[in-house]
Chains A and B, each alone.
Chain A
């Protein structure tokens, strides 16, 4: 899974 990246989605 992806790491906790910038949450740019709503």
Chain B
């Protein structure tokens, strides 16, 4: 464990809690892509199955349980409690355009052709593209609530910090996880446009609105 990974996990946890707080306080999930949240729940469900078979550390166990719980609560809020505020018309990204290539690539590029490895690989590739429906929705509506931009910022920052973690681990313990690293780079690149808007607009107190 290193500082980049701890900060990355905390950034991820903060993002998830910001989203829940936004929905809880505003009693609305306007501007939130339910599709992205479904993909995140799928990422956690396929990656954290080892929860029941392998004990790595208390930290690892607790964080996995929190992520799984929060992701399902988030989906319950969007499609259950606050479904009247769910902006279905703007959340139109075709999930099959993400799931089919990700499933295909998981079968092609993996470390081992066994169920647990295929599921882990699927979750890594899926996480890289899971935010696309949310970014697509913002481009559809042309703007995003400020609290939503903070959610996206910490969500993007988490994997960027993981990139630093992999650089650190490579130099200190020759650790190199090619699938996770390449996927993490792609995932972070998808946020670059948003990061630019966040830093030039939101941090200056303006509202995030796309040109």
Contact = CB atoms under 8 A, between A and B. Distances in A.
Contact of B180 (A3, A6, A9): A9
A7 B177 CA distance: 10
B5 A9 contact: yes
A10 B63 contact: yes
Contacts of B67: 10
B111 A2 contact: yes
B12 interface: yes
Given A1-B111, A1-B178, A2-B177, A7 B9 contact: no
Given A9-B5, A9-B180, A4 B111 contact: yes
Given A10-B63, A10-B67, A4 B9 contact: no
A3 B50 contact: no
B112 interface: yes
Interface residues of A, number: 10
A8 B117 contact: no
Q: Chain B interface: which size bin? A: 20 to 34
B117 A4 contact: yes
A7 B57 CA distance: 11
Contact of A7 (B120, B162, B178): B120
A6 to B, nearest CB: 7
Contacts of B56: 6-8
B209 interface: no
A10 B179 contact: no
B60 to A, nearest CB: 7
Interface in B156-196: 162, 165, 175-180
- A4, A5, A10: residue with the most chain B Cβ atoms closer than 10 Å: A10
Nearest to B64: A10
A9 B64 CA distance: 10
Interface of A: 1-10
6 contacts: A1-B176, A4-B112, A6-B56, A7-B54, A9-B5, A10-B9
Interface of B: 5, 9, 12, 47, 50, 54, 56-57, 60, 63-64, 67, 111-112, 114, 117, 120, 162, 165, 175-180
